[in-house]
């Protein structure tokens, strides 16, 4: 099946720890995105990448880091510098980074700080 796979589905982190969320796609899409969703809120963009080895900060990049070493993978690291990391994280991809292309989403990872 073609699609976007996020893992794990649930993740628990102790304060002060870094954690990495996985996002893999087999759609052969060039562009990938990370969003954060808080209860009752829309999605806010953390980082996006339009091509391998290149990525840009979104509106709320502080406390997060990403890499794009392979076309199909775009992992997100939530660092200890992120003050309020408990949220639902969504990964998306599109065939290109241009404005005309449709975005497709994974099923999300729920991160909880304990």
3-state secondary structure of 72: coil
Of 11 and 92, CB closest to another protein: 92
Of residues 17 and 51, the one with the C-beta less far from another protein: 51
Contacting positions for another protein (CB under 8 A): 4, 6, 33, 35, 40-45, 48, 58, 88, 90, 92, 94, 98-108, 110
Residue 57 near residue 44, CB atoms below 8 Å: no
| Burial (0-12, 13-18, 19+ Cβ within 10 Å), 59 | exposed
Q: Give the Cα separation of 114 and 106 in Å (integer).
A: 24
CB of 105 to another protein, least distance (A): 4
Residue with Cβ nearer another protein (20 or 41): 41
């Amino acid at each position: 099946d073609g699609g976007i796979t996020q893992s794990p589905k649930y993740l628990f982190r102790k304060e002060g720890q870094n954690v990495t969320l996985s996002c893999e796609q087999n759609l052969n899409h060039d562009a990938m995105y990370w969003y954060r969703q808080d209860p009752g809120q829309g999605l806010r963009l953390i980082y996006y990448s339009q091509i391998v080895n290149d990525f840009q900060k979104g509106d709320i990049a502080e406390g997060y880091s990403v890499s794009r070493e392979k076309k199909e993978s775009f992992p997100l690291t939530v660092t200890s510098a992120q003050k309020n990391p408990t949220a639902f994280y969504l990964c998306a991809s599109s065939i290109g980074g241009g404005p005309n292309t449709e975005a497709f989403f994974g099923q999300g990872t729920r991160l909880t700080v304990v």
